[in-house]
């Protein structure tokens, strides 16, 4: 019963209004970054935002729906990454529950924890579905490491451990900046507003 209560706590009317906005943020920024072939992703800002102020289950749902919708409507390559997006939202929500979204330096720690999770979950997808080379700009690093004689798994993991911390710390700080820009009265309407105050 405790799990169901935890899930229910994450979802109120404000959560349901924020999720589509967060999905749009993820997809638009993700598409811009993909078009520019940048070595980061920045496609989880909305997911981390929802996780921080609505909770881990709402963050997980936002991440999952972002990649599923993005993959079905715009870019099929986004679809297989939905497990990564799920865990990004979930870990962001748990980090917020433990007070890691209350100051910028704690947000850096949260971003690092989110990055570790994303690196671990994304490596098997990159290796087994894409042979280590994906559509992102970070594949240049993987290709370089492969050319130096590193194994496929080592190359992908190394790339992920280089890129993910930069990406997820930047993502978490951007989500934190959005939260800090919200009026206190508006913010208080979200189910986990106390996690960011």
CATH of 2-196, one of 1.20.1300.10, 3.40.50.2300, 2.40.40.20, 1.10.1760.20: 1.10.1760.20
pLDDT at 195 over 80: yes
Residues 6+ apart with CB under 8 A from 139: 132, 133, 159
DSSP 102: S
Q: Are 43 and 167 in contact (CB under 8 A)?
A: no
Give the angle subtended at the CA of 108 by the CAs of 104 and 110, to the nearest 5°.
Answer: 110
- The pLDDT score that the predictor gives to residue 1 is 58
- For the chain, domain boundaries: 2-196
CB-CB contact of 22 with 4 (8 Å): no
Q: What is the pLDDT of residues 145-194, one digit of tens each?
A: 888 999 889 999 898 898 899 999 999 999 999 999 999 999 999 999 99
What confidence score (pLDDT) does residue 5 get? 87
**For all residues of the chain together, what is the average pLDDT?**
93
Which residue has 């349901």 as its token pair? 16
Q: Report the 10 Å Cβ neighbour count for 71.
A: 16
Can you tell me which residue has the tokens 């980061």?
Answer: 40
**Residue 87: pLDDT above 80?**
yes
Rounded-to-integer distance, Cα 191 and Cα 30, Å: 27
Q: What is the separation, in whole angstroms, between the first and last Cα of the chain?
A: 28
Ramachandran assignment for 133, one of left (phi > 0), alpha (psi -120 to 50 degrees), beta (any other): beta
Q: What is the pLDDT of residues 6-51, one digit of tens each?
A: 889 999 999 999 999 999 999 999 999 888 888 788 999 999 999 9
| pTM as predicted | 0.93
For the stretch 101-150, pLDDT in tens is 999 999 999 999 999 999 999 999 988 998 877 767 677 888 888 889 99
């Amino acid at each position: 019963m405790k799990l169901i209560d935890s899930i229910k706590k994450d979802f109120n009317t404000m959560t349901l209004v924020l999720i589509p906005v967060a999905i749009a943020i993820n997809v638009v920024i993700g598409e811009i970054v993909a078009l520019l072939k940048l070595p980061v992703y920045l496609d989880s800002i909305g997911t981390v935002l929802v996780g921080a102020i609505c909770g881990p289950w709402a963050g997980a749902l936002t991440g999952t729906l972002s990649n599923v919708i993005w993959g079905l409507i715009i870019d099929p390559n986004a679809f297989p990454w939905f497990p990564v997006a799920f865990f990004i939202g979930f870990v962001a929500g748990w980090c917020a529950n433990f007070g890691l979204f209350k100051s910028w330096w704690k947000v850096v720690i949260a971003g690092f924890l989110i990055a570790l999770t994303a690196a671990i979950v994304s490596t098997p997808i990159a290796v087994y579905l894409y042979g280590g080379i994906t559509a992102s700009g970070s594949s240049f690093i993987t290709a370089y490491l492969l050319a130096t004689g590193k194994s496929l798994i080592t190359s992908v993991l190394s790339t992920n451990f280089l890129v993910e911390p930069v990406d997820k710390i930047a993502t978490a700080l951007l989500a934190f900046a959005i939260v800090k820009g919200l009026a206190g009265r508006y913010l208080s309407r979200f189910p986990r507003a106390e996690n960011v105050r």
